[in-house]
Each structure stands twice: as C-alpha cells, then as structure tokens.
Amino acid sequence: MKKGILLILTGASSVGKGDIRDLLMEDDDLHLFYSISMTTRPKREDEIDGKDYYFVDYEAFAQAVRNKDLLEFAEFDGYYYGTPRKQVDFLLNSGKNVLIEVEAQGVGQIKLKHPDAVSVFVMPESIEELEKQIRLRYNDEASAKRRISKASVEMELASLFVHQVKNTDPKQAAEQIKSYVQEALGKE
C-alpha cells in the first residue's frame, strides 16, 4: 500500500499554528489525521485528554522515552512534549496523511526517520505582532518573557526550512500549505 504523507507544522509559540492546523484538518481534500502528542504540561480548562494531548506525569513520559515509544520529544517551558511513534507509523503505513504540530527542536529528529516529510515553518506577520500574541495568551510576565526569548531563537531556525509560510491570514496560510502537501502527493 502507498504510504501517507507526513506534514510537520512548526513555528514559534503563539504564531497561530493551532488555527492553521484546524483549517487543514477540516479540509476534505487532504484527509489528514492528527497525531496527538504526549505532554507533562498540566491540562488547560478547555482541553480534553486524548484529543488535544495525552496528559501524563513525568514518570510515564520518562518510561515512554526509555521504551523508545516516541518519534521525537523536546522540553518546552519546563514541560516535556513528544510524538507517539506507533500511532504515526500505523497511520502512515495504512496510507493516511498525518499532521504533526511540534516546536522546531523536534523537527530534525522526525526528518531523520521520515526524510520525505513535508515540513512547514509558520512565520508571524512581524516580531512585534508575535510578542503581542504571546502577551495576550500568557498574562504571567515571566512565562511570556520566556516564550518571547524562545521565539526569537526559533525564528533563527526558519531559514533551514524549504517551506516558510507567513501567518497574516490563517486561511491563506492553510491554502499555501495545502498546495505543498498536494505537490508532495503528486510527486509519488
């Protein structure tokens, strides 16, 4: 069976990856399956365990790392995030197209195992706009500052990506990303 396409969406914190992801997931032409990550971060009020993330404690996460159950993992703002390997492999091997949303540190680890993955770096409209979005989302100043400083480091990684998409309008950004996936599907 023909393997599915792996789409990796990355970019700085609060750049709007979530909105773009939702639009891509709703797109019937792409038939994307979302890979649910595992995290040690506490669940936010509006989140659902098993839908937004698998929320686990540190020990369970460490066990998953030891068992090599994660395709990649990274630390972000004091918490661990990782992509369950079996779920992604199963979907790709069943011919499904899979979307993974990760922060930039994780992309290299995924590309080693899936060199054909389509990876897209989402850029903010401007650094000022990104800072504004981070401050809107995180009213705890220390947390906002950490994310702003991490965002500027992550932006340095953008040039390593073949596909960079500016998020001025999530709909336009999603359309652009869709064209990259369709190009990759056509190539096979």
Residues near ligand 5GP, by CB under 6 A: 13, 17, 37, 41, 72, 74, 76, 81-83, 101-103, 105-106
| Nearest-angstrom CA–CA distance, 178 and 23 | 10
Q: How far is the CB of 20 from ligand 5GP (least distance, A)?
A: 11
Question: What is the residue-wise DSSP string for 71-104?
Answer: EEEEEETTEEEEEEHHHHHHHHHTT-EEEEE--G
By beta-carbon proximity to ligand 5GP, the closer residue of 158 and 185 is 158
By beta-carbon proximity to ligand 5GP, the closer residue of 55 and 185 is 55
By beta-carbon proximity to ligand 5GP, the closer residue of 74 and 184 is 74
Q: How far is the CB of 35 from ligand 5GP (least distance, A)?
A: 8
Burial classification of residue 37, based on how many CB atoms lie within 10 Å of its CB (0-12 exposed, 13-18 middle, 19 or more buried) = buried
Question: What is the residue-wise DSSP string for 42-65?
Answer: PPPTT--BTTTEEE--HHHHHHHH
CA 57 from centre of chain: 21
By beta-carbon proximity to ligand 5GP, the closer residue of 75 and 183 is 75
Q: How far is the CB of 5 from ligand 5GP (least distance, A)?
A: 18
Structure tokens at 74: 């990274």
